[in-house]
């Protein structure tokens, strides 16, 4: 896979494809890691990155205490007691973190018609959000307007949740217009430190198989809607995914090269529907460990 990615790099660098520029950056970093690129395992982020842990345990293992337990004699009725804690979230996928990539001074890919990736992804995010909320998901966005949070800040939003998935949104400058592709991170070595913590920059490693499953669902729905799109998820070294401790995918829509941006606007409802249906199909597969510190 690494060879495939590297083989594509010159084309992407010349055309300025946004997602692929990230690939090129990661490619060189992987070959020549710098100190800042390597994990700081003692940082709080490294600890955060370990949670939540996916597990194959059945959901029932961490269900809230049974409400059917009868009161013991001599005690007041538990149903009359004031609630001092919020109800526990059901196990599994509850939150979708949407990441409209780029922003601020980083415009992302730009088309000749004045189309800016950083603006289009925000508009896609709004429609994706509506589609997800209609299926009962809570949606968080890494940016609401024209800001440009760091990669780590964007990942941290997902890493702070239990039961979240992460979707980063891009509009490519390459690819057949009217198609869409889903990427997951390439294989990562576990890279645990001496304490067994997973380092921040490999936070995605334990989630790769879940990410592929999630990505395949979304790609399948995209392929039904947008002819010429792949049928299955592809792997690539996408920087944003690597530090995300949750099932995480990159969705890339083609392309900013369309002459009329209405062609992209028309794709937004289909992309939103595919992501929402993909998240819904994936939902039963994502079970959270009862013990947050438990290793997958």
Q: Which parts of this chain interact with Zn ion (CB under 5 A)? A: 18-19, 101, 108, 170
Nearest to 99 by CA among 49, 164, 135, 143: 143
By beta-carbon proximity to Zn ion, the closer residue of 267 and 287 is 267
DSSP-H helix ranges across 49-159: 117-134, 151-159
Give the CA distances from residue 208 to residues 49, 112, 234, 235, in Å, rounded to whole numbers and listed in that order: 14, 36, 12, 10
Alpha carbons 232 and 171: distance in angstroms, whole number:
19
Q: How far is the CB of 190 from Zn ion (least distance, A)?
A: 28
Token pair 């997902």: residue: 158
Q: How far is the CB of 170 from Zn ion (least distance, A)?
A: 3
Q: How far is the CB of 143 from Zn ion (least distance, A)?
A: 13
Q: How far is the CB of 17 from Zn ion (least distance, A)?
A: 8
Alpha carbons 187 and 192: distance in angstroms, whole number:
15
> Any idea what the Cα angle at residue 282 is, between residues 278 and 287, rounded to 5°?
155
Closest CB to Zn ion: residue number: 18
Q: How far is the CB of 169 from Zn ion (least distance, A)?
A: 8
Give the full edge-to-edge strand order of the sheet including 248-254. 138-141, 95-100, 164-172, 248-254, 180-185, 234-236
């Amino acid at each position: 896979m690494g060879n495939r990615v590297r083989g594509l790099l010159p084309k992407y660098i010349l055309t300025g494809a946004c997602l692929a520029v990230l690939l090129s950056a990661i490619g060189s970093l992987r070959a020549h890691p710098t100190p800042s690129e390597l994990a700081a395992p003692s940082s709080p982020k490294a600890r955060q990155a370990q949670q939540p842990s996916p597990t194959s345990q059945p959901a029932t293992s961490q269900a809230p205490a049974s409400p059917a337990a009868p009161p013991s004699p001599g005690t007041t009725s538990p149903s009359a007691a004031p609630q001092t804690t919020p109800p526990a979230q059901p196990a599994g996928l509850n939150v979708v973190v949407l990441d409209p990539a780029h922003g601020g001074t980083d415009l992302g890919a730009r088309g000749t018609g004045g189309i800016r990736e950083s603006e289009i992804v925000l508009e896609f995010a709004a429609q994706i959000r509506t589609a997800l909320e209609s299926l009962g998901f809570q949606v968080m966005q890494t940016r609401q307007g024209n800001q440009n949070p760091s990669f780590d800040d964007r990942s941290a939003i997902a890493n702070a949740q239990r039961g979240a998935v992460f979707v980063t949104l891009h509009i490519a400058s390459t690819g057949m217009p009217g198609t869409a592709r889903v990427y997951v991170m390439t294989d990562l070595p576990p890279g645990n430190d001496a304490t067994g913590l997973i380092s921040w920059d490999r936070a995605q490693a334990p989630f790769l198989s879940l990410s592929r499953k999630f990505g395949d669902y979304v790609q399948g729905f995209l392929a039904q809607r947008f002819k010429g799109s792949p049928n299955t998820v592809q792997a690539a070294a996408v920087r944003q995914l690597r530090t995300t401790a949750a099932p995480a995918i990159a969705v890339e829509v083609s392309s900013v090269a369309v002459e009329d941006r209405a062609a992209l606007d028309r794709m937004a409802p289909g992309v939103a529907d595919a992501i929402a249906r993909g998240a819904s199909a994936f939902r039963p597969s994502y079970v959270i460990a009862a013990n947050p510190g438990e290793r997958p």
